[in-house]
Amino acid sequence: MAKRNFHIKPICAVVLGSLLIPVNQFWLMRAETVYPGTFSTLLTIFYNVTFTLFVLVAANSVLRRVAPRAAFGPSELLIVFVMLTVATGIFGHDLMLVLVQSLAGTGWYATPENDWENLFLRHLPSWLRIDNAAAQGYFLGESAFYHEAHIHAWFRPVLYWSAFLIILLFVTLCLTAIVRRQWTEHEKLAYPIIQLPIALATGSSILRNRLLWLGFALAGTLDLINGLHAYIPIIPVFTLSMDIGVYMTEKPWTAAKPLVAWIYPFVVGLGYFLPVNLSLSAWFFYLMWKVELVFRSAIGIWETPGPFRSYQTAGSWMILTAIVAWTGRRHLRSVLRTALRPKLDTSDEREPMRYRSAVFGLVGGVVLLVVMLMGAGLSIWVGTLFLLIYLAYMIAISRIRAEAGPPSHGAEFMGPEQVLLNIFGPKRIGMNNVALFSGFYWMSRAYRSVPIGHQLEGFKTAQVAGGRGRAFLAAMVIASIIGTFIGFCIFLEAMYRFGAVNVQHQIGMEPFRRLQPWVLAPGHRNYELLHEMGIGAVVTGILMVFHHRYVGFPFHPVGYAVAGGSVMEKRAWFSILLAWGLKTTILTVGGPRLYRHFVPFFAGLILGQHMVGGLWTIVGIAQGEVVYRFFR
C-alpha cells in the first residue's frame, strides 16, 4: 500500500497542478491586464505562486491531522509549485501578452497613412494573420471568443504558435537537463530564489520562528493599511519612495532621470538572500550607469540606446554564456560522450532526463523550430542565427537565476533580430525576413518571465525535496502544454469580453514601429549599438576574471548583467542597496551565525507582502477594479 501511495501521490499532485493552472492564469489575466495592478511576472519569484503554495501548505497541514495518509509530502507540494511557476512564466507579461497582441494587430493597426500593409503585412503568411472582422471583437470587446467565426480566424495561428512554443519549451528543458549536474552538484550554485518555497513545502523550522512572523506582520501590515486607504481615505498611505530626479533640473544631470528610490519589503527580503558582492554590484553598476549617462551628456557624445542600457546587457549575457560553456567544457564533453555511447557510460541513469534524450531532443527540437521558421517564411540562415542568439540569452538567464537570484533579470529591446540587423544590415537580411521579425517579437521584447529559469529550479527542488526527478520533468512538460493552450483561451476570452482598447497594455503596434525604420532605411546600420554590446562583453569578461582569480574582489559579473533592467531602473535598486547595507552590517557584527538568525525575518518580508498584496489583487478582481498595487 505504501508503495502504491508513493506512485499515486505524484500523479495526484500533477492533477492538482493542472487544475490550478487555469485558476492562476485567470488571476494573472485580471490582475496584470484587465485591472492592471501588481505585475507578478516582472519578477523572478511570482507572488501568485507563493500565495497558492502557502494556502496549499496550510490546507495540507489540516489534512495531515485529519487524514495523514491522504496528505501530500514536500515533493508533491513542490511539484504543484513548479508546474505553476512554469505556467505563470508562459502567461507572463513578456510572452503570452506580447504574442497575442502582436497577432491581433497584424491588420488592425495598418492604415493608408503608415502603409504597413505594403511594408510588412504582405510578407506575412495569410494563415498567421488575423482578419479585421475577427480583430474587431478582440479590440472593441463586448463580444465572445467562442464564436464560430472567431475560433476559425484564430485556429491556425494559435495552433502554429502553440506548437512552436511547446517545442521551444522542450528545447530549453533539454538545455537545463544538460547543465543541471554541472551547476547543481559540481559548482553547487545557491538557487536563492527557491529557498522560501522549499522552506514552506518542507515544513522547515523557519515556519515556527517568531522572526518570520514578525517580518510577515511588518510587510503585511504596511500593505493592509495602504489597501484600506482605498475604502477609508482618512487612513494614511505609506509610500516608501523618494524621487531624487526632481532635484536634477539642469544638464548634464537631467540625463540621470528617472532616479527614484523605492523601498519594497519583499525586494529587501530577496536582496538579503543575494551574495554580498552581487547585491553590491547590482546597485553600484546601476548608479555607475547613471554616472555614465551624465558624463556622455556633458561631453555631448552618443547616449546609451533605449531606456535601460539594453545592448550592454546583451553583450554581457553573450559573454556570460560563452564563459559558462568554457568553464563547463569537461562536463559538456562527458554529456556528449554519454549521449553517443549510452551503453558504455551509465552515469546519467539517475538524471531527470538521460543525456541521450537531452542532446538529441535539443538538436531535434532546434531543427524542428528552424523548419517551422522556414515554413513561416524566414530564411534558414536567419532563422538558425535567431534561435542560437535566443538560446544563448536563455542560458545566461538560467545561470543568473541559479547563481545569484536577483529580483528581476529583464533586458528590453535587445532581441536577436536587433542584433542581426545591426550586424548584417536589412539588405543582407532581406526585407521579407525583416517583416517576418514582427511575428517573433514575443521572443525578444523582454526576458523577465521566460520559463527556463523555473525549469532549472524545478530540477533543484526535486533534488532538495528528495523527489523523483523524472516526475518533476513530466510535470513540467504537462504544465507547458496545458499552460500554453489554456493561456491562449483565457487571454482571448478576456479580450473579446473587455476589449483590448480598454486595457492598459496595448503593445500590438510595437513590433511594427520598431521595425519600420529598418524597412524605410534598409542601408542603415547602427554600429554604436554593436559598440555598446562590445562594452558590455568586455566589462563582464574583466569582472569574471577578477571574480575567479581574487577571492576578496568585491564585484560580481552577474550584478553588472542585471543592473540595467527595467525593474532595477524603476523599482528595485534602492531596496537592494538597503538589503546589502543590512546584510553587510549583520555579517560584520555577528558573522554567519547572526546572518542565519535573521534569515526568517527577511523571508517573512517576502511572504507577508506576497500574501497580503496578493489578497488585495483578488479583492480588486472581485470588485472589477484596481484596489491597491503593492509593486508598481
| Phi (first) and psi of residue 241, to 5 degrees | -150, 160
| Phi (first) and psi of residue 243, to 5 degrees | -85, 100
Strands 241-243 and 260-262: antiparallel
- The residue among 632, 631, 628 whose CA lies nearest residue 225 is 628
Residue 97: its pLDDT value, please? 86
Q: Which structural domain range is residue 467 located in?
A: 2-623
Residue-wise pLDDT tens digits, 138-180? 998 888 898 888 999 999 999 999 999 999 999 999 999 999 9
Question: Are the CB atoms for 567 and 262 separated by under 8 Å?
Answer: no
Residues 372 and 378: their CA atoms lie apart, in Å, by 9
Amino acid identity for residue 437 in this structure: F
When pLDDT is averaged across residues 1-12 and rounded to a whole number, the result is 67
Residue 303: its pLDDT value, please? 56
Residues 120 and 131: their CA atoms lie apart, in Å, by 15
Highest mean pLDDT among 14-23, 121-130, 538-547: 14-23
Q: What is the mean pLDDT of the chain?
A: 88
> Which 3 state secondary structure label does DSSP give 617?
helix
Residues 144 and 495: their CA atoms lie apart, in Å, by 9
Has residue 530 been placed in a domain? yes
Residues 495 and 135: their CA atoms lie apart, in Å, by 10
Instruction: Enumerate residues 6+ apart whose C-beta is below 8 A from 404.
Output: 192, 274, 275, 278, 556, 558, 559, 562
Whether pLDDT at 405 is above 90: no
Has residue 631 been placed in a domain? no
Whether pLDDT at 304 is above 80: no
User: How many residues can be counted in the chain?
Assistant: 632
Residue-wise pLDDT tens digits, 314-343? 899 999 999 999 999 999 999 999 998 877
| Phi (first) and psi of residue 262, to 5 degrees | -105, 145
* Residue 62, CA distances (Å) to 58, 67, 76, 350, 537 in order: 7, 8, 16, 34, 52
Has residue 628 been placed in a domain? no
pLDDT band with cut points at 50, 70 and 90 for residue 308: very low
Whether pLDDT at 306 is above 90: no
Residue 436: its pLDDT value, please? 86
| Strand segments (E) across 414-503 | none
Has residue 329 been placed in a domain? yes
Whether pLDDT at 542 is above 50: yes
Residue 524: its pLDDT value, please? 66
For the chain, the distance separating the N- and C-terminal CA atoms, rounded to the nearest angstrom, is 50
pTM confidence score: 0.93
Residues 627 and 632: their CA atoms lie apart, in Å, by 13
Greater confidence, 366 or 521? 366
- The residue among 141, 34, 108 whose CA lies nearest residue 503 is 34
Whether pLDDT at 572 is above 70: yes
Residue 25: its pLDDT value, please? 94
pLDDT band with cut points at 50, 70 and 90 for residue 131: confident
Q: H helices within 377-414, ranges in order? A: 380-403
When pLDDT is averaged across residues 585-603 and rounded to a whole number, the result is 93
Q: Compute the Cα dihedral for 530, 535, 540, 546 and give only its sign.
A: positive
Residues 159 and 602: their CA atoms lie apart, in Å, by 44
pLDDT band with cut points at 50, 70 and 90 for residue 566: confident
Residue 248: its pLDDT value, please? 86
Q: How many structural domains are present in the chain?
A: 1
Greater confidence, 220 or 39? 220
Has residue 630 been placed in a domain? no
DSSP classification of residue 242: E
When pLDDT is averaged across residues 464-468 and rounded to a whole number, the result is 79
Cis before 592 (ω within 30)? no
Residues 199 and 192: their CA atoms lie apart, in Å, by 12
Question: Are the CB atoms for 84 and 27 separated by under 8 Å?
Answer: no
SS3 content of the chain, % helix, strand, coil (to 5): 75, 0, 25
Residue 1: its pLDDT value, please? 43
Residues 305 and 532: their CA atoms lie apart, in Å, by 9
Has residue 632 been placed in a domain? no
Per cent of the chain over pLDDT 70 is: 96
Residue-wise pLDDT tens digits, 236-270? 888 888 888 888 888 888 888 888 899 999 999 99
- The residue among 589, 592, 624, 570 whose CA lies nearest residue 267 is 570
Whether pLDDT at 305 is above 60: no
Residue 252: its pLDDT value, please? 84
